[in-house]
């Protein structure tokens, strides 16, 4: 065999080895921008790939098909980042990433119990369908989610409590049925980035309708059938109100300023 032919065969062999060594990217970057005093639990959920008949055994206290990450409260806005595999093999069972769940928690006061939370998530499917999001050419898909504090009163002293509501931007933050989320094709995610920008609006609104009446200085709590009525729907009565107790102990007639 001539040296020329041997060189060609060697070159082709090296090219073949290089081709075998190059594997498609099987992960993507997930980033979440959190406001100050927020913490986050993130769970990546894996399921058997389409067409697979294998099942994962249930084991007490362990879920091998679920990757969970925790981020604690920070006094300033921060960004968390994860590198999530799109495929996994657990106990010989080929799995694919089906979705990511988020549990958001935030502080609204100084007491230990002054915390509110909400959930969100993104789904990941085998192919594009319906209202799923298409990755831009930049390789970075930004999602804008907005949170808002909803206030209410509880108990016989009508104490103020707050509920956190987080939705996709453009949805009515007041509605708790507009779940923050989105859907992606798994084939499009390899080597790409999903950036979730979570914001917190300064405006607070009542948790339920027909309990409060808005005035230029703030909100007044409707009296209801009596001062002891804990539900106290307005029912068209926008002149009779009741006091409530603020988290700092003050008894006020208008929220959040306490003064008219």
pTM of the model: 0.81
- Tell which residue, 133, 135, 124, 130, has the closest CA to residue 95: 124
Low-confidence winner among 158-162, 186-190, 232-236 (lowest mean pLDDT)? 186-190
For range 32-40, the mean pLDDT: 97
- Reported as a pLDDT band with limits 50, 70 and 90, residue 225 is very high
Low-confidence winner among 49-53, 143-147, 178-182 (lowest mean pLDDT)? 178-182
d(CA 49, CA 47): 6
Note the helical H segments in the chain: 3-21, 186-189
- Tell which residue, 51, 242, 88, has the closest CA to residue 159: 242
């Amino acid at each position: 065999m001539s040296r020329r032919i041997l060189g060609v065969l060697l070159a082709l062999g090296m090219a073949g080895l290089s081709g075998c060594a190059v594997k498609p990217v099987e992960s993507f970057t997930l980033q979440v921008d959190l406001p100050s005093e927020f913490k986050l639990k993130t769970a990546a959920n894996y399921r058997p790939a389409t067409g697979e008949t294998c099942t994962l055994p249930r084991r007490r206290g362990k879920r091998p098909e679920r990757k969970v990450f925790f981020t604690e409260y920070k006094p300033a806005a921060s960004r968390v980042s994860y590198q999530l595999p799109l495929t996994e093999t657990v106990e010989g069972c080929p799995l694919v990433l089906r979705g990511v769940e988020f549990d958001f928690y935030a502080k609204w006061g100084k007491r230990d119990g002054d915390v509110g939370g909400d959930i969100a998530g993104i789904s990941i499917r085998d192919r594009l369908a319906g209202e799923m999001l298409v990755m831009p050419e930049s390789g970075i898909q930004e999602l804008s989610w907005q949170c808002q504090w909803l206030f209410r009163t509880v108990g016989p002293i009508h104490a103020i409590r707050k509920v956190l509501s987080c939705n996709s931007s453009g949805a009515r933050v007041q509605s708790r049925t507009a779940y923050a989320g989105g859907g992606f094709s798994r084939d499009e995610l390899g080597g790409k980035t999903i950036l979730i920008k979570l914001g917190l609006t300064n405006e607070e609104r009542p948790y339920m309708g027909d309990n409060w009446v808005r005035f230029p200085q703030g909100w007044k709590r409707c009296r209801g059938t009596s001062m002891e009525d804990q539900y106290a729907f307005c029912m068209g009565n926008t002149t009779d109100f009741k006091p409530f107790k603020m988290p700092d102990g003050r008894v006020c007639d208008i929220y959040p300023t306490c003064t008219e």
